[in-house]
Amino acid sequence: MNRRDLRPPVLIIIAVVITLLIANIPAEGEPEPPASPYLYCELIEKWAAEYQVDPHLVAAVIENESAFDPERLSPEGAVGLMQILPSTAEMSAVNLQMSGFTPDCLWDPAINIQLGTHYLATLLQDFAGDAIAALAAYNAGPGRVHEWQQMDRWQTRSGIDRIPLMETRSYVMLVLEDYERYRQSSPE
């Protein structure tokens, strides 16, 4: 076999290698694959214990809010892992007497998870431990959920499928599905 006979297979191999390399580069604007919840496990457990919230629920909220992307910024201005609005985070920071808080602090996963978990705990308390109502409020705002309840447009006992806002209904269902998945996969 002479050198000329080796050219086509070598060219094919080079073409295949280049194609595989290009296929692994995300296209412009294409999101990176989500980070693992395990990267933030210690922070989730720490703040969930501090504010007495189930860590599996916190992880499910993070998954649905940001897909564990600490650099996520929503069109509405919600920031980071737990997608907290700076105004909401500032209220939590004041309640926690956190000195030196600025909206830029929300890019720090530890602070984002702390303030988001505190806010979730506040909602759970506000809605008497009702996780469905608290999750609806996390997504749509507590004022809107209270309004739905006062106008008898939605009560938790009437079911998730009766939540007036479709986006919130889907959000609550997805968070609860992920919450159950995390609970079942937990070694505890």
Among all residues, which ones are annotated catalytic? 65
Cα within 13 Å of Cα(74), Cβ side: 17
CA–CA gap between residue 74 and residue 177 (Å, rounded): 23
Contact assessment for residue 173 and residue 62, using Cβ atoms and an 8 Å cutoff: no
CA–CA gap between residue 172 and residue 140 (Å, rounded): 10
How does 7-22 read in b/e, with b if 16+ C-beta sit within 10 Å? eeeeeeeeeeeeeeee
CA–CA gap between residue 88 and residue 122 (Å, rounded): 11
Give the CA-trace dihedral at 84, 90, 93, 94, to 10 degrees: -150
